[in-house]
A and B are shown apart, each in its own frame.
Chain A
Amino acid sequence: DIQMTQSPSSLSASVGDRVTITCRASQSISNYLNWYQQKPGKAPYLLIYGASTLQSGVPSRFSGSGSGTDFTLTISSLQPEDFASYYCLQTYKIPMYTFGRGTKVEIK
Chain B
Amino acid sequence: EVYLVESGGGLVKPGGSLRLSCAASGFTFSSYPMNWVRQAPGKGLEWVSFISSSSSSTSFIYYADSVKGRFTISRDNAKNSLYLQMNSLKTEDTAVYYCARDGGQQLAYSMDVWGQGTTVIVSS
State whether these chains interact: yes
Given contacts A49-B107, A97-B35, A98-B47, contact A43 B98 (CB under 8 A): yes
Say yes or no for A32: interface residue by CB 8 A criterion.
Answer: yes
With both beta carbons as reference points, the residue of chain B lying nearest to A56 in the complex is identified as B112
Please judge, given known A-B contacts A43-B98, A43-B115, A96-B62, whether A91 and B45 are in contact too, CB under 8 Å: no
A4 to chain B, nearest CB (A): 10
Say whether chain A's binding surface is mostly helix, strand, loop, or mixed.
loop
Q: Is B110 touching A89 in the complex (CB atoms < 8 A)?
A: yes
CB distance from A6 to the nearest CB of B (A): 9
Using known A-B contacts A44-B45, A101-B44, determine if residue A95 contacts B108 with beta carbons closer than 8 Å.
no
* Interface flag for B71 (CB, 8 Å): no
Tell me how far the C-beta of B36 lies from the nearest C-beta in chain A, rounded to whole angstroms: 11
Among residues 37 to 82 in chain A, which have CB atoms less than 8 Å away from a CB atom of chain B?
38, 42-46, 49-51, 53, 55
Indicate if the CB atoms of A95 and B35 lie closer than 8 Å.
yes
**How far is it, in angstroms, between the C-alpha of A98 and the C-alpha of B111 when the chains are bound?**
12
List B contacts of A22 (CB < 8 A): none
The reply to whether A91 and B50 contact each other, CB–CB distance below 8 Å, is no
User: In the complex, what residues of B have CB within 8 A of residue A100's CB?
Assistant: 44
Knowing A43-B115, A43-B117, say if A99 contacts B46 (CB, 8 Å). Answer: yes
Q: Which of A32, A55, A87 contacts B45 (CB 8 A)?
A: A87
Cβ-based interface call for B88 (8 A): no
**CB closest residue in chain B, given A51:** B108
- What A residues does B110 contact at CB under 8 A? 34, 46, 49-50, 89, 91
A55 touches B62 (CB 8 A): no
Given the interface pairs A97-B35, A99-B44, the reply to whether A32 lies near B116 with Cβ below 8 Å is: no
Cβ < 8 Å to A, chain B residues 90-117: 98, 100, 102-103, 107-112, 114-117
Taking a contact as CB atoms under 8 Å apart, the answer to whether B114 and A94 are in contact is: no
Residues of A within 8 A of B60 (CB): 95
A32 touches B115 (CB 8 A): no
Complex interface bits, B35-51 against A, C-beta within 8 A gives 1, otherwise 0: 10100000011110010
**Which residue numbers of A lie inside 8 Å of B, CB to CB?**
31-34, 36, 38, 42-46, 49-51, 53, 55, 87, 89, 91, 94-102
